[in-house]
Amino acid sequence: MPAKVVVGVQWGDEGKGKIIDILSSRADVVVRSQGGNNAGHTVESGGEIYKLRLIPSGILYKNTYCAIGCGVVLDPGSILKEISELKQRKVSFDRFFIDPRVHVVMPWHLLLDDAAEKFRGKYNIGTTKRGIGPCYMDKSERSGIRMFDLINPEIFRSKAKIVGNFKNNLLAKVYGEKPLDIERIICEYIEYGKQLKPFVKDVSVKVYEEYCKGKEILFEGAQGTLLDLDVGTYPFVTSSNPISGGVCTGTGIGPTMIDEVIGVAKAYSTRVGQGPFPTEIFGQTSEFIRKKGDEFGTNTGRARRVGWFDSVIARHAVRTNGLTSLAINKLDTLSGIEKLKVCSSYQTKDGKIIYDFPCSFEELEDLTPIYEELPGFDEDIGQCRNYSDLPEACRKYISRLENLCKCRINMIGVGPARSQNIER
C-alpha cells in the first residue's frame, strides 16, 4: 500500500483540505508533520462545513488513525478547543495521537510573535501571530518545552520556570512589554497536559507499524512550498518545512517510504501576509476572484492577495517536492473572466528571460512576469465529473498548465464539495 504526501504548491490555502479529505476517505492513517494552528483547512463533509486548524482531516472518518508528528508545534489551549468543538459534532477521538516530541506553543511565544512583528517595522512578515516562529526558535535553540514535558507536571514545572523567567526578561527588557505570571501559566498548562495525556504516543513508531502492515498512509501538508523556511520566499515564510522533505523529519520516517507526492495548486494564485508575489493583480479581476473564490483566511479572516497562475512557481514546487502529480483546485472560480493569463517565465530588468524561481525577494521585486493569454469560459462547471465534460477552454487551460509545469494534472476541483472533483 502506498504512502502519499499532499503538499501545497503556492503560498498555502490551495484547497489541500479538500484533496486530503478525498484521499483520507481511502487512507488508514493521516499524519500532520509540520506547522501548527497557523494552518486552517476548510473541509466540506456530509453537507457540513468543518474548519480544522491542527487536527488532521482524517478525523472525520471513523476507522482512520490520525496523528500529529514530531515536527508540529502545538498550542494546547487551541487544540483542546478544537477537540471539544469536534466532539460536540460527534467526531470520535479514539484513534488520535500526538507525538511526545511535539513542541508546545507557550503564551510567551504569542507575545514574542507580536512584539517581533512590531520590531520589524516595514519588514514585518505578516505572521498569523500564533507564536509559531518563536516556538520553532526555541526548538532549534534547544530550550523548547515538549509534549513529554507537558504531561509530566514535575518536569514541566521546573523547565517552564527557567524558560518563563528568561522570557519575562526578554519581554520586559528588550521589548518593553509587561512580564507574564509564570506560576499561573504553569498551573493552567499542567491542566492542559492532563487532558492531552491520553493522546500522547510515539507517532514514528505507530506510523511505521501501520506501514509495515501494508496500510495506506497519508501525510497531510500545511502551508505551501513558497512558505517553506528553506526553499520559500525567505524571510516571508513560515518557520517549518512544508515541502515533502519535511514529512520525514516531521514524522520520523524515511524518504524510501514515500511513493507519491501530490502537489495542490489553485487555478490562480493567492497569498496572505507580506512578501513577493510576482503575478499579483489589483482592481476588478482581483476583486472578482477574491469574492467568487471566497479568498479570506480560514483562521484569521484576512483578505488574501490574488494573482494569476505562475508556472515558474509550479515548476519550483515540482522540483523541490519531487511531485508525481498535480491537483488543480477552484477552476470554477475563473468562470466569467474573458481572458485568462498564465505566467510562463520572468524577465529581468536587462531583458533576460528566467525560468527558475530566484532565491531572494530583492531579485523578485525587479522581475516582470511574462504572460500567455488563454481564452476564458462562462459556463458553470460545478456539475462536471469527467474531464471530457469540461468546456474546451477549460481543457485548453489545464493542458497548457500541464505543459508549463511539466507535471501531470490528475485532479481538478470544480467546486467546494468533496464530490465536485474530476479525477483523471
Q: How far is the CB of 341 from ligand IMP (least distance, A)?
A: 23
Q: Is 28 a catalytic residue?
A: no
Q: How far is the CB of 17 from Mg ion (least distance, A)?
A: 7
Nearer to ligand IMP, 77 or 126 (CB): 126
Stretch of 12-20, 58-66, 118-126, 333-341 lying at the interface with Mg ion (CB under 5 A):
12-20
For ligand IMP, the binding residues (CB under 6 A) are 11-13, 38-40, 125-128, 130, 132-133, 222-223, 227, 236, 238-239, 272-273
> Cell digits for 85?
468543538
Nearer to ligand IMP, 57 or 127 (CB): 127
Looking at the DSSP assignment, which residues form a beta bridge with residue 44? 49
27 binds, among Mg ion, ligand IMP, none (CB under 5 to 8 A by kind): none
Query: Which 3 state secondary structure label does DSSP give 260?
Result: strand
Q: How far is the CB of 70 from Mg ion (least distance, A)?
A: 22
Question: Among residues 298, 371, 288, which one has the least CA distance to residue 333?
Answer: 288
Torsion of CA 98, 102, 106, 110, to 10 degrees: -100
127 binds, among Mg ion, ligand IMP, none (CB under 5 to 8 A by kind): ligand IMP
Instruction: Find the binder of Mg ion among 15, 40, 263, 413 (CB under 5 A).
Output: 40
Question: Among residues 421, 46, 23, which one has the least CA distance to residue 221?
Answer: 23
Q: How far is the CB of 333 from Mg ion (least distance, A)?
A: 16
Nearer to ligand IMP, 30 or 200 (CB): 30
272 binds, among ligand IMP, Mg ion, none (CB under 5 to 8 A by kind): ligand IMP
**14: contact with Mg ion by CB under 5 A:** no
Q: How far is the CB of 87 from Mg ion (least distance, A)?
A: 23
Judged by phi (left if over 0) then psi (alpha if -120 to 50, else beta), residue 46 lies in left
Cα 149 to Cα 135: distance, rounded to the nearest angstrom: 15
Cβ pair 104, 147 in contact under 8 A = yes
Q: How far is the CB of 263 from ligand IMP (least distance, A)?
A: 15
Residue ranges in 248-307 that form contacts with Mg ion under rule CB under 5 A: 298
Stretch of 34-42, 156-164, 244-252, 355-363 lying at the interface with Mg ion (CB under 5 A):
34-42
HSE value, Cβ hemisphere, 13 Å, CA-based, for 179: 14
**13: contact with Mg ion by CB under 5 A:** yes
Q: How far is the CB of 273 from ligand IMP (least distance, A)?
A: 2
DSSP 8-state class, residue 172: I
Nearer to Mg ion, 192 or 277 (CB): 277
Query: Which 3 state secondary structure label does DSSP give 300?
Result: coil
Looking at the DSSP assignment, which residues form a beta bridge with residue 51? 42
Torsion of CA 351, 356, 359, 361, to 10 degrees: 50
Q: Is 113 a catalytic residue?
A: no
Nearer to ligand IMP, 39 or 70 (CB): 39
Closest residue to ligand IMP, Cβ-based? 273
φ, ψ of residue 200 to 5 degrees: the values are: -80, 125
238 binds, among Mg ion, ligand IMP, none (CB under 5 to 8 A by kind): ligand IMP
Alpha carbon separation from 416 to 22, 23, 257, 266, 386 (Å, rounded)? 12, 15, 31, 12, 16
Cα 225 to Cα 173: distance, rounded to the nearest angstrom: 36
Cα 239 to Cα 41: distance, rounded to the nearest angstrom: 19
Q: How far is the CB of 40 from ligand IMP (least distance, A)?
A: 6
Nearer to ligand IMP, 13 or 138 (CB): 13
Q: At what angle do helices 132-141 and 107-120 cross, to 10 degrees?
A: 110
Q: At what angle do helices 311-321 and 392-405 cross, to 10 degrees?
A: 50
19 binds, among ligand IMP, Mg ion, none (CB under 5 to 8 A by kind): none
| 41, 103, 109, 316: the active-site residue | 41
Cβ pair 128, 300 in contact under 8 A = yes
Nearer to ligand IMP, 38 or 345 (CB): 38
Cβ pair 306, 290 in contact under 8 A = yes
DSSP E strand stretches across 146-250: 217-220
164 binds, among ligand IMP, Mg ion, none (CB under 5 to 8 A by kind): none
Nearer to ligand IMP, 182 or 314 (CB): 314
Q: 3-state DSSP helix/strand/coil percent for the chain, to nearest 5?
A: 40, 20, 40
**21: contact with Mg ion by CB under 5 A:** no
Active site residues per annotation:
13, 41
Query: Which residues form the interface with Mg ion (CB under 5 A)?
Result: 13, 40, 298
